[in-house]
């Protein structure tokens, strides 16, 4: 019996030794995408493939033909990205399985063996190159034969949750807004008539992440030197600068083609987009041909989608009465003739009714201390930077402090919100008289969506000190000296500005609306004229001749031919006031407004005795009709949700060729389009649509109704989608 027992033990020992000696073979891999994606805040992009953020471990499970033995079995992992991966460029990493992580380097560690399975954690450094990676492992035993097995692919993103990442944002509330929120608002219009436009960012739609990397791979930087371009994709400053250039198509196969005219027949009017997803998908599906058309808010909203998708906290910012300073002299020169007509053809500088750009959050290691945080990125093609149409990143703090020498494009961004406005009377072929020198009219009501709310937040104070304060003028002078240098001392315009700009006017003129302006109705205004004391006319009446002109105002500051003129003669005695009614008939502007529905009424009053001139202005915004959107019940994933949309036409004219487009990530896959025909004056249309929500959580439905007469009847509805209840 004893001999038999000994022989049995020997047989077992031999079998065990054979199992150990047998080569370790990989049978299957589980990338554990659902669990990893949830831990890395990427589950909204889907759970089928692995999408992780740098600087944070993720787990894998490897299944072998036998148990793994640390010390005799050796695993080496290889992660690669880019067309030609190299360790020297940071696009290839080789790292062996160890018991503990070695710091901020590629690591495989914290493993456990469970029968024939190995659970292992992989760590990517917080400064790793972002992008799609392939992962493989090399299995060896001692100095013997090694075998390489592919493990699969994963996508690596920036990680604003990680304190070691350059885009770290230490607030979960802000991260939910500036990374996870897939809808929002773009603020448009005029500083006194600000409109919130709902926008579907849709950064978590499943194909958007791939399109974002397509965009990087179509940039001129990549096409010129792919390996070098990939090696710099660890730096958010570099990546956002590339994206800024690629959102417009001025130099490359960028996403959007700009159009600031009135003919959109070859594409889609910028006013008719509801969100970024349709634009990005069209660009990708049509062979990376630029999508027609975009203007500033479309460029900025699409860039917001791309940057949030890549993991950089991003928001959309609007500035009203925003400067486009072509000559870099910090004055925006506008010209009027004696008939109160804006002479657009004479303008190189422009004042946009509003302009929209992005802010991205990041550390600026390339700048002195103190300039981290929000950085201005402007993808609208306005002027070149290092040879390409892009702008930024420019530190918002640097803009506020006038540190215009700091990169990138800080002088241009500073001028957008701080330039002085100078309005000239143009006569006999030259600018002869300053009508207005305004130091505080540029960069008004700088706005973004409030965190966790549908309200607008005014962030003007982050860009500049209070207008007229000693700090604001001091910063302006500092920026002027840096931007103009010796030129400032020899400017005849500035000499004239200093000698003529501050004389008191004998009359105070103001234009007011007599009633709320409505599209399709006559516009009623009143001119208020009040006599003021002055040296030239200490007493006695003065005579004024006031020439009025009304022009359609385009969003980028240009105007069309006058659509209305009037001349008024006034006699004003000392201490007297006059209110003079003005009527701008509907027939005058009916077919002459741009899609913006903005009119500028200008008046130039000439004092007969002295020949001095004064300017009075009034901008009028004609609001489109309003939509009503209601839902009938609780929203659940996969269950029909009936939406009721109501539109009343309050105008005196019919709205013809009406079309409706619905969009909303998590509610609709793509878009729902519907032709709804003609809506007669005073009539109401009610539309019912059934949606089948796709994702849980807070969602936003965007609705756009467009007609030949009005392009932008927009509305939205916030909808919370619950998980499906078991039936």
Is 472 within any annotated ligand binding site? yes
Closest CA to 426 of 549, 557, 334, 323: 334
User: Rg (Cα) of the chain, in Å, rounded?
Assistant: 32
Catalytic, out of 165, 229, 349, 378: 378
What is the rounded CA–CA span in Å between residue 605 and residue 507? Answer: 9
Crossing angle of the two packed helices 296-310 and 277-285, in degrees rounded to 10: 80
What is the rounded CA–CA span in Å between residue 650 and residue 517? Answer: 13
SS3 state of residue 387:
coil
Residues 6+ apart with CB under 8 A from 429: none
Cα atoms in the 13 Å half-sphere on the side-chain side of 76? 12
Catalytic, out of 355, 437, 547, 555: 355
Token pair of 216, please? 């990087």
SS3 state of residue 295:
coil
Crossing angle of the two packed helices 236-247 and 296-310, in degrees rounded to 10: 140
* 378 is known as an active-site residue: yes
* 390 is known as an active-site residue: no
What is the rounded CA–CA span in Å between residue 620 and residue 215? Answer: 40
Closest CA to 375 of 437, 317, 291, 416: 317
CB atoms inside a 10 Å sphere around CB 102: 11
Closest CA to 123 of 54, 22, 172, 213: 54
H-run or E-run covering 230:
helix 226-231
Crossing angle of the two packed helices 296-310 and 208-217, in degrees rounded to 10: 100
CB atoms inside a 10 Å sphere around CB 46: 16
Alpha helices (H) along 84-207: 172-175
What is the rounded CA–CA span in Å between residue 599 and residue 559? Answer: 9
Is the peptide bond preceding residue 393 cis, with omega within 30 degrees of 0?
Answer: yes
Phi, psi of 293, deg, nearest 5: -140, 165
Token pair of 606, please? 């000439």
Is 418 within any annotated ligand binding site? yes
Distance, CA of 37 to chain centre: 26
Is the peptide bond preceding residue 266 cis, with omega within 30 degrees of 0?
Answer: no
Q: Across the chain, which distance is largest between two alpha carbons, in Å? A: 138
Phi, psi of 411, deg, nearest 5: -60, -40
CB atoms inside a 10 Å sphere around CB 675: 8
Token pair of 534, please? 């002055």
Token pair of 497, please? 């500005």
For 163, counting Cβ atoms within 10 Å of its Cβ (0-12 exposed, 13-18 middle, 19+ buried), the class is: exposed
What is the β-pairing status of strands 73-80 and 92-96? antiparallel
* 190 is known as an active-site residue: no
Alpha helices (H) along 258-354: 277-285, 296-310
For 45, counting Cβ atoms within 10 Å of its Cβ (0-12 exposed, 13-18 middle, 19+ buried), the class is: buried
What is the rounded CA–CA span in Å between residue 613 and residue 545? Answer: 10
Phi-psi region of 180 (alpha: psi -120 to 50; beta: other; left: phi over 0): alpha
SS3 state of residue 692:
coil
Active-site residues, by number, are 296, 355, 378
For the annotated binding site for Ca(2+), the residues are 418, 420, 467, 472
């Amino acid at each position: 019996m004893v001999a038999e027992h000994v022989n049995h033990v020997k047989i077992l020992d031999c079998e065990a030794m054979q199992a150990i000696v047998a080569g370790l073979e990989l049978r299957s891999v589980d990338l554990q995408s659902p669990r990893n994606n949830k831990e890395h805040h990427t589950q909204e992009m889907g759970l089928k493939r692995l999408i992780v953020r740098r600087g944070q471990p993720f787990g894998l499970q490897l299944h072998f033909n036998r148990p793994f033995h640390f010390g005799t079995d050796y695993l080496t992992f290889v992660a690669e990205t880019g067309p030609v991966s190299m360790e020297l460029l940071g696009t290839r990493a080789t790292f062996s399985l160890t018991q503990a992580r070695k710091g901020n380097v590629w690591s495989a560690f914290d493993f456990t063996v469970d029968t024939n399975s190995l659970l292992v954690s992989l760590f990517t450094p917080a400064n790793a190159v972002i992008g799609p990676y392939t992962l493989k492992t090399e299995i060896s035993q001692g100095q013997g034969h090694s075998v390489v097995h592919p493990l699969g692919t994963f996508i690596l993103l920036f990680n604003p949750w990680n304190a070691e990442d350059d885009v770290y944002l230490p607030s979960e509330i802000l991260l939910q807004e500036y990374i996870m929120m897939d809808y929002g608002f773009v603020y448009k219009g005029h500083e006194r008539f600000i409109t919130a436009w709902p926008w579907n960012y849709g950064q978590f739609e499943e194909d958007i992440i791939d399109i974002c990397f397509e965009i990087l791979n179509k940039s001129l930087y990549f096409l010129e030197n792919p390996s070098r371009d990939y090696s710099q994709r660890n730096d958010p400053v570099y990546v956002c600068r590339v994206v800024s250039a690629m959102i417009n198509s001025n130099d490359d196969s960028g996403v959007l083609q700009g159009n600031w005219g009135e003919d959109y027949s070859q594409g889609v009017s910028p006013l008719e987009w509801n969100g970024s997803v349709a634009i990005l998908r069209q660009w990708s599906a049509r062979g990376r041909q630029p999508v027609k058309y975009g203007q500033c808010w479309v460029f900025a909203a699409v860039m917001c989608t791309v940057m949030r998708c890549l993991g950089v906290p991003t928001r959309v910012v609007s500035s009203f009465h925003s400067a486009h300073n072509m000559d870099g002299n910090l004055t925006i020169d506008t010209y009027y003739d004696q008939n109160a007509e804006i002479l657009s053809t004479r303008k190189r500088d422009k004042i946009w009714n509003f302009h929209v750009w992005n802010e991205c959050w990041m550390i600026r290691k390339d700048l002195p201390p103190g300039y981290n945080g929000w950085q201005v990125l402007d993808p609208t093609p306005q002027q070149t930077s290092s040879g390409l149409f892009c702008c930024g990143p420019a530190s918002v703090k640097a803009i506020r402090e006038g540190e215009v020498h700091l990169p990138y494009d800080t002088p241009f961004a500073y001028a957008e919100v701080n330039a002085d406005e100078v309005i000239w009377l143009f006569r006999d072929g030259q600018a002869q008289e300053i009508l207005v020198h305004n130091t505080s009219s540029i960069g008004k009501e700088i706005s973004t969506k409030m965190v966790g709310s549908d309200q607008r937040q005014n962030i003007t104070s982050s860009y500049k000190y209070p207008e007229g304060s000693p700090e604001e003028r001091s910063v302006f002078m500092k920026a002027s000296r840096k931007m103009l240098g010796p030129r400032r001392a020899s400017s005849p315009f500035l000499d004239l500005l200093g000698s003529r700009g501050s004389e008191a006017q004998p009359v105070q003129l103001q234009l007011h609306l007599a009633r709320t302006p409505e599209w399709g109705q006559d516009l009623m205004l009143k001119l208020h004229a009040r006599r003021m004391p002055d040296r030239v006319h200490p007493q006695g009446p003065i005579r004024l001749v006031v020439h009025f002109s009304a022009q359609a105002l385009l969003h980028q500051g240009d105007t069309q031919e006058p659509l209305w003129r009037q001349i008024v003669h006034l006699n004003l005695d000392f201490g007297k006031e006059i209110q003079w009614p003005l009527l701008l008939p509907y027939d005058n502007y009916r077919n002459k407004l741009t899609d913006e529905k903005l009119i500028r009424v200008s008046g130039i009053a000439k004092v007969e005795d002295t020949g001095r001139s004064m300017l009075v202005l009034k901008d009028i915004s004609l609001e489109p009709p309003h939509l009503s959107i209601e839902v009938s019940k609780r929203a659940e994933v996969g269950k029909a949700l009936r939406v009721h949309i109501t539109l009343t036409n309050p105008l005196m004219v019919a709205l013809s060729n009406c079309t409706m487009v619905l969009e909303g990530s998590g509610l609709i896959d793509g878009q729902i389009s519907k032709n709804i025909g003609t809506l007669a004056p005073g009539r109401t249309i009610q539309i019912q649509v059934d949606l089948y929500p796709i994702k849980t959580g807070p969602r936003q439905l965007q609705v756009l109704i467009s007609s030949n007469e009005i392009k932008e009847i927009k509305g939205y509805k916030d909808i919370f989608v619950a998980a499906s209840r078991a039936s």
